C-alpha cells in the first residue's frame, strides 16, 4: 500500500475496504494506450506530487520536469494547485504525527504559511478565479470521505475563505469541499446539515469584508430522497460538494444512499445553480465504500462533466464523460488498475489521468473511448494550469 492510500485509510471513516485487486487485465487493442503524449496538446504546466514526497512540474507531455518543492522529507506533498497567475501554490501535505492532511500556501520567495490547524483534516480547497482568495474545508472531528467532499454523520468543520493579500481568514459556514462560481460571486459547498449551499460573496467588493455571508440551500437530502426513490429506495444519506459548470449556470454533485454501504447506490446529479431547480439523475451503481466518492470535474470550455469512480465489488475503476445538454454518458476507460486523479486541459480538449499502478499518465479525449496517449512516469494528482507556473 502506497503512502497516499495508507494515509487516507488512517484519516477517513471506511465502512468497507476495497477487495483485493486481481492481476491487471490486458486491454483490447481498441483501448490500449499508444506510447507517448498525443500531438496538439494545450500549453501550460502540470503540477503533481512525485510519489507523495515533493511537488514537481512539467510540460503537459511530461517533458521538462523540475522540482517545485524540496522539503517533502519534513512533510510529504499529496498534491497542489497553482494560483491562476502561477505565482502561488496551494499545497496539501501529510504532516508527521497528524491524522489528516494540512493546507499550506507556498509563496514565490520560498516562504510558506500553514492555513489549517494542527491535527485537522483538509477536505477540499480551491482558488478564486482572480487568485485573491483560497477557499478550503477543514474538518475538526468526525468523518469525512475523500474526493467528493462527502461528510459523515457527526462531522464538525467549516468552510474558510483566506485572503492571500491581507493574510486574513474568514469562516463561511459549516461544511466541506468548496467551489467558486466562474465569476467568483458565489461559493458552493457541502453543508453539514446535508445540503448543497451557496454563499453570496458579493460583499467582498466593499471596503471591509462582511462578518457574515448570505447563504442559500440549493438542494438537500430530503429533496434528493424524494426524486431518487426509484433508484435508491432507502433514501439518500450523504451528499458531496458541488462543482460549477464553465458558464456558472449548472452545478453537479454526488450523493450516496442510506443503508449498508455494499448495497448503497451512488448518484450524480446535475441541475441549474438555483434553489429548487429539478436535478437530472445519473446512477453510478453500488460503489461499495464511502471513500469511493465520484470525483467530478467540468470541462473548462463546455458543458461536459467528467467523473472517475471506483467499484469495490468487483474492483474496477472508470472514467466517464457526461454531456449535460443531451444527457449522453460515455465510458472513456474501464480498468482494474487503480486511478482516481485527473485534470482537464485548459482548452477542454484533453483529460490527463494518473494511473497509480505502473505510475503513468494516460491522455483521453472526452468524445473518444480509450486513451489516445501515455507517458511514463506519471505523477500523483496532476493539475494542468494555463499559467506558466513557478517551475
Name the more confident of 11 and 111: 111
Assigned domain for 357 exists: yes
Task: Tell me how far apart the 2 most distant CA atoms of the chain are, in Å.
Answer: 60
Judge whether 212 and 203 are in contact, CB under 8 Å: no
The CB density around residue 347, as the number of other CB atoms within 10 Å, is 16
Assigned domain for 213 exists: yes
Closest CA to 24 of 324, 355, 362, 380: 355
Map residue 213 onto helix, strand or coil: coil
Assigned domain for 391 exists: no
Question: What is the structure's pLDDT at 16?
Answer: 33
User: For the chain, what is the domain count?
Assistant: 1
Helices (H), the chain: 3-11, 221-227
| DSSP letter (8 states) at residue 252 | E
Backbone angles phi and psi of 205, in degrees to 5: -75, -15
∠80-83-84 over CA atoms, to 5°?
130
Q: In this predicted model, what pLDDT tens digit does every residue of 338-389 receive, in sequence order?
A: 999 999 999 999 999 999 999 999 999 999 999 999 999 999 999 999 986 5
Least confident of 20-29, 67-76, 175-184, 268-277: 20-29
Closest CA to 168 of 141, 208, 205, 129: 208
Q: In this predicted model, what pLDDT tens digit does every residue of 101-154 receive, in sequence order?
A: 999 999 989 899 999 999 899 999 999 999 999 999 999 886 555 455 555 555
Q: Give the integer Cα–Cα distance in Å for 278 and 212.
A: 28
Q: In this predicted model, what pLDDT tens digit does every residue of 299-313 receive, in sequence order?
A: 999 999 999 998 877
Assigned domain for 152 exists: yes
Q: In this predicted model, what pLDDT tens digit does every residue of 146-156 receive, in sequence order?
A: 455 555 555 78
Question: What is the structure's pLDDT at 126?
Answer: 98
Judge whether 354 and 379 are in contact, CB under 8 Å: yes
| DSSP letter (8 states) at residue 263 | G
Assigned domain for 204 exists: yes
CATH number of the domain to which 278 belongs: 2.120.10.30
CB within 8 A of 348, min separation 6: which ones? 246, 299, 300, 301, 302, 304, 366
Cα torsion for 89, 240, 361, 49, to the nearest 10°?
30
DSSP class per residue in 170-205: EEEEEEEEEEE-TTSSEEEEEETTTEEEEEE-GGGG
Give the mean model confidence (pLDDT) for residues 167-195: 96
Q: All 3 cell numbers of residue 201? A: 460573496
Q: All 3 cell numbers of residue 18? A: 476495497
Q: What percent of the chain has pLDDT over 90?
A: 76
CB within 8 A of 328, min separation 6: which ones? 322
CB within 8 A of 77, min separation 6: which ones? 49, 52, 53, 54, 55, 69, 91, 92, 93, 94
Judge whether 222 and 228 are in contact, CB under 8 Å: no
Strands, sheet with 77-82, edge to edge from the N-terminal-most edge strand: 77-82, 89-94, 101-106, 112-114
pLDDT band at 262 (very low <50, low <70, confident <90, very high): confident
Assigned domain for 306 exists: yes
Q: Mean of the per-residue pLDDT values for the chain?
A: 89
113 Cα distance to chain centroid: 22
Range of the domain at 220: 3-22+30-385
> Rounded to a whole number, what is the distance in angstroms from the first to the last CA of the chain?
30
Q: All 3 cell numbers of residue 132? A: 485573491
Least confident of 47-56, 179-188, 202-211: 202-211
Give the mean model confidence (pLDDT) for residues 78-102: 95
Q: Give the integer Cα–Cα distance in Å for 328 and 317.
A: 20
Closest CA to 379 of 46, 36, 123, 24: 46
Residue in the block written with cell 462578518: 211
Amino acid at each position: 500500500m502506497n503512502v497516499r492510500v495508507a494515509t487516507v485509510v488512517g484519516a477517513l471513516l471506511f465502512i468497507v475496504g476495497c477487495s483485493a485487486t486481481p492481476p491487471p487485465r490486458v486491454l483490447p487493442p481498441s483501448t490500449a494506450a499508444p506510447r507517448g503524449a498525443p500531438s496538439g496538446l494545450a500549453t501550460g504546466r502540470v503540477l503533481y506530487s512525485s510519489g507523495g514526497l515533493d511537488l514537481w512540474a512539467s510540460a503537459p507531455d511530461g517533458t521538462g520536469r523540475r522540482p517545485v518543492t524540496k522539503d517533502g522529507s519534513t512533510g510529504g506533498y499529496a498534491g497542489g494547485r497553482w494560483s491562476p497567475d502561477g505565482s502561488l501554490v496551494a499545497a496539501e501535505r501529510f504532516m508527521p504525527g497528524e491524522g489528516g492532511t494540512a493546507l499550506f500556501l507556498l509563496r514565490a520567495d520560498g516562504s510558506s504559511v500553514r492555513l489549517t490547524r494542527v491535527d485537522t483534516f483538509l477536505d477540499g480547497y480551491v482558488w478564486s478565479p482572480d487568485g485573491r482568495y483560497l477557499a478550503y474545508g477543514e474538518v475538526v472531528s468526525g468523518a469525512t470521505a475523500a474526493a467528493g467532499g462527502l461528510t459523515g454523520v457527526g462531522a464538525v468543520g467549516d468552510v474558510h475563505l483566506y485572503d492571500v493579500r491581507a493574510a486574513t481568514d474568514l469562516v463561511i459556514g459549516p461544511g466541506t469541499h468548496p467551489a467558486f462560481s466562474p465569476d467568483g460571486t458565489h461559493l458552493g459547498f457541502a453543508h453539514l446539515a446535508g445540503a448543497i449551499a451557496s454563499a453570496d460573496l458579493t460583499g467582498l467588493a466593499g471596503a471591509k469584508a462582511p462578518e457574515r455571508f448570505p447563504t442559500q440551500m440549493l438542494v438537500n437530502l430530503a429533496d434528493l430522497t424524494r426524486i431518487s426513490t426509484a433508484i435508491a429506495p432507502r433514501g439518500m444519506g450523504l451528499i458531496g460538494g458541488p462543482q460549477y459548470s464553465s458558464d456558472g449556470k449548472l452545478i453537479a454533485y454526488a450523493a450516496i444512499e442510506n443503508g449498508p454501504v455494499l448495497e448503497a447506490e451512488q448518484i450524480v446529479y446535475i441541475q441549474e445553480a438555483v434553489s429548487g431547480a429539478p436535478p437530472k439523475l445519473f446512477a453510478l451503481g453500488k460503489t461499495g465504500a464511502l471513500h469511493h466518492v465520484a470525483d467530478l470535474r467540468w470541462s473548462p470550455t463546455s458543458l461536459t462533466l467528467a467523473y472517475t469512480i471506483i467499484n469495490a465489488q468487483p474492483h474496477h475503476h472508470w472514467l466517464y464523460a457526461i454531456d449535460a445538454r443531451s444527457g449522453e454518458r460515455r465510458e472513456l476507460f474501464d480498468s482494474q488498475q487503480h486511478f482516481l486523479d485527473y485534470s482537464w486541459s485548459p482548452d477542454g480538449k484533453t483529460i490527463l489521468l494518473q494511473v497509480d499502478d505502473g505510475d503513468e499518465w494516460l491522455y483521453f479525449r472526452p468524445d473518444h473511448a480509450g486513451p489516445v496517449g501515455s507517458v511514463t512516469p506519471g505523477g500523483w494528482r496532476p493539475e494542468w494550469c494555463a499559467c506558466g507556473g513557478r517551475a
